Structure 1
Amino acid sequence: MINEAEVYDKAIWILKNQGPKSLKELASELEITTEGARFQLLKLSGEGLVTSRSVSRGRGRPQQIWSLTGKGHAKFPDSHPGLTVKLIQQIRESLGEEALDKIVAATGEDNRKRYEKLMDTHTTLEDRIRKLAAIRSEEGYMAHYEKTDKGYLFLENHCPICEAAKACQKFCSTELKTFQSVLGDQVVVRRIDHILAGARRCAYHIGAETVD
């Protein structure tokens, strides 16, 4: 017997982790009928968690493509957003931007050391990327990677510090430097999608090339 609550939660997770889907694609991922998937989408839409748009995919009638709304993305946890943003504002106002920069840099350095320790036994680039994805997923970033003919794509489908990053984007630049450091000087890590720029996820290209 189908557990409706499990299907409901899985539908949200799929749209968050894999991005927009057509009705048939979602039904396939959920392993249920299209009518069952339609029921779930209408339920989610009624709660303001998903929205749809018409997209032409070659010949034939346009398809309805479903994706999460802002409210839908908010179903995934942020790390104490109100408190974190308030602390950032207070540090900025009381101690100045330079002090905030030092705190962000120190946090990044702590993360770098912790990642390095956890990745110490992983020697190949792909092993280190795989371990980094596992670490970041444990931290709530819903991370995974894909191998391409030009290197690797490192993908994070959620940002648990999104509100803090909006208040201080140096968290994002420090994060990029941390990735570069723990993956090694033999590669270049480049951000190609950014949640704060309106993308649905953060994506990084990791190329096996020498840094100039």
Structure 2
Amino acid sequence: MKSRLLKKFAKSQKYQILSEIKRSQGLSVSELCERINLSYMGVKQHCVSLEKDGYLDTWRRPKGMGRPEKAYRLTNQAQEFFPTEYTNLTLEILESIRQVYGEAAPEKILYQIYQNLIQSVASRITGVTLEEKARSLAAYRESEGYMSEFYHHPDNGQYYIIEYNSPVLALADRYKIVPQMEEQLFEQALGVKVLRQTERVSGLYKCVFTLQP
């Protein structure tokens, strides 16, 4: 039942708003109007409704000139609308494994899972140049629910892959090996050194992978 409701919601204007905010560090009503085909009042009404339901909160964002601007950002509650691979059951299973087989057992299992995943992902990456490979990896991660995009800095020529969702976030919060293996996955797929950095504010998540040839 919940799955059907989420699929229906995913086609709605409210989900469009949540999705656009998810791919940012917070947006004003005016900025949302520029991104989706909806009037200012329409966006405003949806934002007020989403805030009332607990999916958005607001803060005053400083501007270069003039008064601070009101912007919306996601709350942690809004995460239920975005892909996640690991549930509380997964965490409970790993905790039970720890209790039975010792402290190191869960991370050993996760290590093996990621070794298999690294091989699988590497076989899917296409392209010859680093940019081609990075675009291919970003497209694959996007299809897996990471809200991933490739970015080429126009000034310094640096390549980045930026992600705004993590289906493995709960797992990464519990087990330090997960962020380490995510970084290794990128390095193996692209053949370069990768620096992984995350930012989290309220319910917003941003993970930047800096590619270092």
Please tell me the TM-score bracket, short chain as reference.
0.7 to 0.9
- 2:198 counterpart (179, 185, 193): 193
- For normalisation by structure 1, the TM-score amounts to 0.87
* Seq. identity, %: 25
Which of 32-41 and 95-104 deviates more?
A: 95-104
* 1:6 to partner: Cα distance: 2.3
1:21 is matched with 27
* 1:140 to partner: Cα distance: 1.4
* 1:147 to partner: Cα distance: 0.5
Matches within 5 A, 1:105-124: 105-119=111-125, 121-124=126-129
Query: Is the 2:22–2:204 Cα contact (8 Å) retained in structure 1?
Result: no
2:85 is matched with 79
CA distance in 1, matches of 2:86, 2:121: 23
- 1:57 counterpart (58, 63, 73): 63
The one-character-per-residue Cα deviations of 1:108-154 (angstroms, maximum 9, x if unpaired) are 111111112112x4221111111111221222111111001242111
CA distance in 2, matches of 1:168, 1:56: 36
Q: CA RMSD in A?
A: 1.9
The one-character-per-residue Cα deviations of 1:31-55 (angstroms, maximum 9, x if unpaired) are 2221111111111111111111112
1:92 is matched with 98
Gaps of 5+ in 1: none
CA distance in 1, matches of 2:42, 2:204: 29
Gaps of 5+ in 2: 1-10
3-state SS of the aligned residue for 1:192? Answer: strand
- 2:184 counterpart (170, 177, 202): 177
Query: Is the 1:23–1:38 Cα contact (8 Å) retained in structure 2?
Result: yes
The one-character-per-residue Cα deviations of 1:85-107 (angstroms, maximum 9, x if unpaired) are 01110111111233323212211
Query: Is the 1:78–1:159 Cα contact (8 Å) retained in structure 2?
Result: yes
Query: Is the 1:88–1:168 Cα contact (8 Å) retained in structure 2?
Result: no
CA distance in 2, matches of 1:29, 1:134: 21
